[in-house]
């Protein structure tokens, strides 16, 4: 059994234990050489089988294992956008999905720079217009955006995050849920946002994208 398979199973168990993948929602993938390992359709992230993962080519050709999650086009879009990305996490976590039902803060980030951890671990996070789950047109739209980002909110759906490691993608997905909960909890209160110089200091140090 490969380390990538064990890593994917452990990440699924962690996200399920945190309550971020209710029922059989959410999907994870990791690059292994020139292949993508992705959770199968209808999988419970808390009960993944390391030998029961789907294997796809970079362009989504099914190479082995069970039928993949229908969201595999979104995973492939992140890998094609960023050759350094090695993992993608897509969840239906409650608060991030809630923010995905609201108007975005800006064209390049659905969420404002509320906390240093959001800027450090996620960076700008665009809202991708609604499409039915699994619609490849949404993946094409995500891939075509002409600015840098490593995570997004899918309108009326939920968060998706990539990372240079699976741990980084998981951390970004968890941080997205935390900052979304904070944003919703603020309600009508007007928060203090990080100043441009504060954002620049963080993005310079941690290498996350923020173009505002």
Active site residues: 71, 117
* Residues whose CB is less than 8 angstroms from the CB of residue 10 and which lie 6 or more positions away in sequence, other chains included: none
- Distance between CA 54 and CA 147 in Å, rounded? 30
* Residues whose CB is less than 8 angstroms from the CB of residue 141 and which lie 6 or more positions away in sequence, other chains included: 128, 129, 131
Q: Which residues of 150-170 are buried (b: 16+ CB within 10 A; e: fewer)?
A: bbbbbbebbbbbbbeebebbb
Output 183-188 pairs: Cβ under 8 A, ≥24 positions apart.
183/95, 183/99, 183/111, 183/112, 183/114, 184/95, 184/98, 184/99
Q: Which residues pair with 54 in a beta bridge?
A: 38
- Distance between CA 172 and CA 166 in Å, rounded? 10
């Amino acid at each position: 059994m490969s380390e990538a398979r064990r890593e994917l199973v452990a990440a699924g168990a962690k996200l399920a234990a945190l309550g971020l993948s209710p029922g059989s929602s959410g999907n994870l993938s990791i690059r292994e050489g020139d292949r993508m390992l992705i959770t199968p359709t209808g999988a419970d992230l808390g009960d993944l089988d390391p030998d029961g993962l789907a294997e796809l080519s970079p362009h989504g050709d099914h190479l082995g294992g069970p039928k993949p999650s229908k969201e595999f086009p979104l995973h492939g879009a992140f890998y094609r956008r960023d050759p350094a990305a090695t993992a993608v996490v897509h969840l239906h976590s409650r608060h991030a999905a809630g923010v995905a039902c609201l108007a975005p803060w800006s064209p390049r980030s659905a969420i404002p720079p509320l906390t240093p951890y959001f800027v450090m671990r996620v960076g700008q996070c665009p809202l991708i217009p609604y499409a039915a789950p699994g619609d490849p047109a949404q993946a094409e739209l995500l891939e075509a955006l002409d600015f840098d980002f490593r995570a997004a909110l899918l309108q009326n759906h939920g968060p998706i995050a990539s990372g240079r490691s699976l741990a980084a993608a998981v951390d970004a997905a968890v941080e997205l849920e935390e900052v979304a909960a904070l944003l919703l909890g603020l309600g009508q209160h007007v928060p203090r946002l990080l100043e441009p110089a504060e954002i620049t200091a963080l993005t310079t140090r941690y290498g996350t994208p923020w173009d505002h």
